[in-house]
Amino acid sequence: KNEVEQSPQNLTAQEGEFITINCSYSVGISALHWLQQHPGGGIVSLFMLSSGKKKHGRLIATINIQEKHSSLHITASHPRDSAVYICAVKVTETSGSRLTFGEGTQLTVNP
């Protein structure tokens, strides 16, 4: 079993829909990242959070440390949001700042 599990693996939405991507982890963490990866490989860090909630534009990320769960929400989705969204955690037992990644959620937003 992977230490970081994401759901769903694939998600197709219509433009304007509210989208939720979930991330569950089984280890103690010091921080959780949400990343966006477009075709061609480039990765953009969206959020780093260790508690509560963060918002940036149409993106909202929440984390529940007790339940070991995080969600990424996209409001008023747009075709340009189509990408792979990856959850990654910093495991507290490991040294340094290595990230352990989920397998990603492929999001397709149709016009």
Partner 1 sequence: DTGVSQDPRHKITKRGQNVTFRCDPISEHNRLYWYRQTLGQGPEFLTYFQNEAQLEKSRLLSDRFSAERPKGSFSTLEIQRTEQGDSAMYLCASSIGRDIQYFGAGTRLSVL
57 lines the binding site for partner 1 (CB under 8 A): no
CA distance linking residue 92 with residue 27, whole number of Å:
8
CA distance linking residue 2 with residue 48, whole number of Å:
20
Query: Which 83-102 positions form the footprint of partner 1 (CB under 8 A)?
Result: 86, 88, 90, 94-102
Task: Tell which phi-psi region holds residue 31, choosing left (phi > 0), alpha (psi between -120 and 50) or beta.
Answer: beta
Cis peptide bond N-terminal to 79, omega within 30: no
**Which is nearer to partner 1, 43 or 60 (by Cβ)?**
43
39 lines the binding site for partner 1 (CB under 8 A): no
3-state secondary structure of 68: coil
- Rounded to a whole number of angstroms, the minimum distance from the CB of residue 96 to partner 1 is 5
45 lines the binding site for partner 1 (CB under 8 A): yes
66 lines the binding site for partner 1 (CB under 8 A): no
Q: Are 5 and 25 in contact (CB under 8 A)?
A: yes
> What is the total count of residues that contact partner 1 (CB under 8 A)?
26
- Contacts with partner 1 by CB under 8 A lie at 4, 30-31, 33, 35, 40-45, 48, 86, 88, 90, 94-104
